[in-house]
């Protein structure tokens, strides 16, 4: 896949323990993005944060370290991101979904050996 120039970054903020049909929500999002042929997806685990509930989740307190914030980031062409948003309507019932315009300078995969 070739990706260069104007694109969009889709970021989905959810909790680490959020589930979709007995599977981690972040994992379901990544697998659906892969199935749809999107350019790529990465999951980043936060060490501290809060959201709409206003509860602070942190890795420093044992009692709250079970539901740390997670960000799933996908970058692709605007029309492919827009098409994927319908999947998120079903998956993300709590959390934050944002889309930012970005400029892709380089997108190069590994060469298979």
Q: How do the domains of the chain map onto residue ranges?
A: 5-104
pTM of the model: 0.85
Closest by Cα among 34, 29, 33 to 16: 29
Q: What is the pLDDT of residues 55-86, one digit of tens each?
A: 666 666 555 556 789 999 999 999 999 999 99
Q: What is the pLDDT of residues 19-30, one digit of tens each?
A: 999 999 999 999
Burial of 48 per CB tally in 10 Å (0-12, 13-18, 19+): middle
Q: Is the pLDDT of residue 52 over 90?
A: no
Q: For the domain covering 5-104, report its CATH number.
A: 3.30.70.120
**Coil, strand or helix at 32:** helix
> What is the average pLDDT value for the chain, to the nearest integer?
87
């Amino acid at each position: 896949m070739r990706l260069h120039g104007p694109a969009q970054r889709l970021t989905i903020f959810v909790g680490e323990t959020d589930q979709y049909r007995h599977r981690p929500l972040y994992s379901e999002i990544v697998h659906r993005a892969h199935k749809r042929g999107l350019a790529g997806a990465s999951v980043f685990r936060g060490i501290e944060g809060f959201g709409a509930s206003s509860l602070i989740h942190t890795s420093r307190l044992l009692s709250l370290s079970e539901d740390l914030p997670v960000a799933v980031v996908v970058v692709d062409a605007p029309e492919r991101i827009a098409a994927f948003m319908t999947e998120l309507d079903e998956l993300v019932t709590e959390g934050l979904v944002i889309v930012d315009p970005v400029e892709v300078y380089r997108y190069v995969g590994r060469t298979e050996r």
